[in-house]
Chain A
Amino acid sequence: MRHIISILMENEAGALSRVAGLFSARGYNIESLTVSPTEDKTLSRMTLVTWGNNEIIEQITKQLNKLIEVVKLIDLAEGKHIERELMMIKLKAEGDHREEVKRLVDIFRGKIIDVSDNSYVVEMTGATSKLDAFVDTVANELIVEVVRTGPSAISRGIGGLHL
């Protein structure tokens, strides 16, 4: 099963490579990983998407907790949560395709943030599955490049991951 693990960790050089190293050394799957500072400059927040059975996920959270720089973590799959991912996708936009692509972007509630005479850059946010759907819908030969951040996620309600 897919799990989103949110981690608060010390904002120190090397912390990210400890997490990445742990996953490769122990053979855990890693689908995406995002990291950035928080409102507290000494802390970074990492969102990590992985998958595995319950035993593996239990080991992953235990091993992450064992890293000295990890302060706190939560497996968001254990409760209700929202996830969003940002995608920027550059598409060829010439002739008939220009209108067709525009319509498709509107349906997916994306935004065209750069236009040239033969291309669009589309910004789109949403759950990973929505972005996947857009990529699948656009004709493959129109795609120039795809940049995705990987999901960020947060729990619903007042509870949260903080110190």
Chain B
Amino acid sequence: MGGLDLVEIHNVELNGGEIIVECLKKEGVEHVFGYPGGAVLHIYDAIFNQDDVKHILVRHEQGAAHAADGYARTTGKPGVVLVTSGPGATNAVTGIATAYMDSVPMVVITGQVPSPVIGSDAFQEVDTVGITRPCVKHNFLVKDVNDLAETFKKAFYIATTGRPGPVVIDVPKDITSPWIKVPFKYPTKIKMRSYNPTTKGHVGQIKRAVKMMLAAKRPVFYTGGGVVLDGAAAELTKLAQRLNFPLTSTLMGLGGYPATDKQFLGMLGMHGTYEANMAMHGTDVLIAVGARFDDRITGNVERFCPDAKIIHIDIDPSSISKNVRVDIPIVGSVKSVLQSMNDVLADVEIDHKPELIDGWWKDIEEWRARECLKYSTKSKKIMPQAAIESLYNVTNGNAIVCSDVGQHQMFVAQFYKFDRPNRWANSGGLGTMGFGLPAAMGAQIANPDDEVVLVTGDASIQMCIQELSTCMQYGLPLKIILLNNGYMGMVRQWQEFFYEKRYSESIVEAQPDFIKLVESYGHIGMTVSDPAELDSTMEKAFAMKDRLVLINVLIDPESNVYPMIEAGKGHNEMYMPPESELV
């Protein structure tokens, strides 16, 4: 379905398995996360015979997909997964859906039963293309070994361009047969008539937007994962600082603008800061950049930004005016559009009155003065917020942090101030518990010289805990901060607020001994329960540079994430921490 440019011809004949490995090399893939099985044995044989593409053997295919995802989120390069047919593919689906919801570039190679038996309910057969169709950017079933190379080229092209996402390539076993050899040709460039993402924004729209921004009295930038995915942090920072506008970010966008900068208001939305949400409620010009107006951000769309004109920059036209009507849509790559805006503003003739927003900053400073993230210090137990602050201090804010899903995830978003992009990996859209450990593993493999931290909970970590074994095999010195409250904390919090404390099935009554557990995998475990020993325990753990250390932090079990906007409420209707707790 596409045209090929500049075909590179190698005078070699290769079999399907070898072609796949060669394609990966051509795409610059260094690591593949996978698990062997019947339908991919030929591919594994080709992997065995070379050293360029390193295979990381996980313990469960879900772990492979999350690891590739963590790899991608912390490098910007596509993650690659290789799993077998049937259960191999279905186990990977949660990881594929996770990547899809957060627009993470990924190429997933799944084995399939041999072409002649497809449809006969063969051993380990599932309709992988059918099962994954709703949770991939695109998928392919390869029907001819001669199509393999072009399919791989297309898969990487689709996964990494436009709005990125996972692409599945389903490869029947006969396609990789060692006995069928064909000439290997890898296209250096590809053009597809049906896929041409718009990257350059409309010049007229950009000018209109800049004019609207300059006239704003209460502007705010609302930035999302698109800034991180597109590598647009520098352009965003330049634009925001040139205009002195406040910024707030979604969970996915954290790191897209330095969180320690005074213009940054923190995260917005359901567990966003008071100042960010009040700014959203009061703004007259909202500039949404690579964000998709998710329900966790908007709350009740009827009450969302009631006074605002909205400018929306996004690479995906279907994200624009999907949930909230916008006034100036700009379809294009975030990086390119922000750059164009900077160029427009560089014009000396431009009429910019910085004092227009002085009053707005005064309002914001008043909201800030409420210190909405303040937490109780009278507990004799460790507060989860204090644990994240301690982590921030011991890592000097420089770690790559991965998380699972729940209260601990929100505490990281609120208290770990990411100053750079690609330093934060978590499942935002799908909210996949079990994401954290394998993602951290992938992040550590991609960034061997960085400190990689997993912040998790006692419920989440058990969903993919088998990957501790993978971490041992590859000597990955992760630091795991396990915020242990004996509950599914976020579920318990909702039950406390909305179900009169009926803690239905949110108490984990039989917990493993996490220290013995990590030790049995060959790692080191420490428990800390005394607030006075929190910092020293962290320091001790982080001093062990080449070992995986799990710190089992016994936290105040019923602490809640504040502020909170109940689903369906407006941004100015936040639950704040009870005053009584803040003594």
Residue positions of A touching B, CB distance < 8 A? 9-10, 12-14, 17-18, 21, 25, 42, 55, 58-59, 62-63, 65-66, 68-71, 163
Contacts and interface: CB of A to CB of B under 8 A. Distances in A.
Given A10-B194, A14-B129, A42-B1, A68 B137 contact: yes
Given A55-B321, A59-B322, A9 B133 contact: no
A21 B317 contact: no
Given A10-B1, A18-B133, A66 B318 contact: yes
B158 interface: yes
B256 to A, nearest CB: 24
Given A10-B1, A10-B194, 13 more contacts: A14-B133, A18-B133, A42-B1, A55-B325, A59-B322, A62-B318, A62-B320, A62-B322, A68-B137, A68-B138, A68-B194, A69-B1, A71-B193
A122 B322 CA distance: 45
Contacts of B317: 62, 65-66
B115 to A, nearest CB: 13
Contact of B194 (A59, A63, A69): A69
A18 B130 CA distance: 9
22 contacts: A10-B194, A12-B1, A14-B129, A14-B141, A21-B134, A42-B1, A55-B321, A55-B325, A58-B321, A59-B318, A59-B322, A62-B318, A62-B320, A63-B318, A65-B318, A66-B317, A68-B138, A68-B158, A68-B192, A68-B195, A69-B1, A69-B194
A85 B133 CA distance: 31
Contact of A17 (B130, B138, B192, B193): B130
Shortest Cβ-Cβ A-B pairs, 10 listed: A62-B318, A71-B194, A10-B1, A68-B138, A25-B134, A62-B317, A68-B195, A63-B318, A66-B318, A21-B133
B125 interface: no
Interface in B149-207: 158, 192-195
Range of interface residues on B (Cβ < 8 Å): 20 to 34
Nearest to B139: A14
Interface in B305-351: 316-318, 320-322, 325
A7 to B, nearest CB: 11
Contacts of B322: 59, 62
B128 to A, nearest CB: 12
A142 to B, nearest CB: 42
B1 A17 contact: no
Nearest to A64: B318
